[in-house]
Amino acid sequence: MEWKANFSVGDTKMDDQHKGLIVLVNQLAGENEVDVREALEKLQEYADIHFRDEEALLAEIGYPDLDKQAAEHETFRKWLDEQLETYRNGGGSDTIRARIQNYLRIWWIKHILFSDKAYASYLK
Ligand SMILES: [Fe+2]
């Protein structure tokens, strides 16, 4: 997964955080031996900060679809909590890891390209 210019939401901080998230997602998809649980915890921490910053920015500009944004973020948080729960309980397998990678890639691409880019025009 690679950050491309068309991912830009028109805010440097948000773009930088999205790039950081993509790095973390890619770590999970790498062929290198990676502690999936640790990588997910790092992603959780980073995503929490990003969601908080993004929601604060959207509140500041009076973005009308903030509720929708916040709801999507909440869905992601819950999903990630569940995956971590699985790994903490020792249920992590290659199949689950592959499923997580797929979900993360699709979720972030869709979220950035559709939900996040929708606020770009409000930033100007
Ligand atoms: Fe978002």
For 60-114, how does the pLDDT look when each residue is reduced to its tens digit (9 = 90+)? 999 999 999 999 999 999 999 999 998 888 777 778 888 899 999 999 999 999 9
Burial of 124 (C-beta count, 10 Å sphere; 0-12/13-18/19+): exposed
Q: Which tokens belong to 10?
A: 């028109």
pTM of the model: 0.91
Looking at this protein, which amino acid is placed at residue 2?
Answer: E
Check residue 35 and give its pLDDT: 78
C-alpha of residue 68 to centroid of ligand 1, in Å: 10
* SS3 state of residue 82: helix
Cα 71 to averaged position of ligand 1 atoms, centre (Å): 10
CA of 90 to the centre of ligand 1 (A): 30
Would you state the structure tokens that stand for residue 56, as one six-digit string? 């604060």
Whole-number Å distance between alpha carbons of 52 and 47: 8
Query: Which tokens go with 70?
Result: 């916040």
What CA–CA distance (Å, rounded) separates 96 from 75? 19
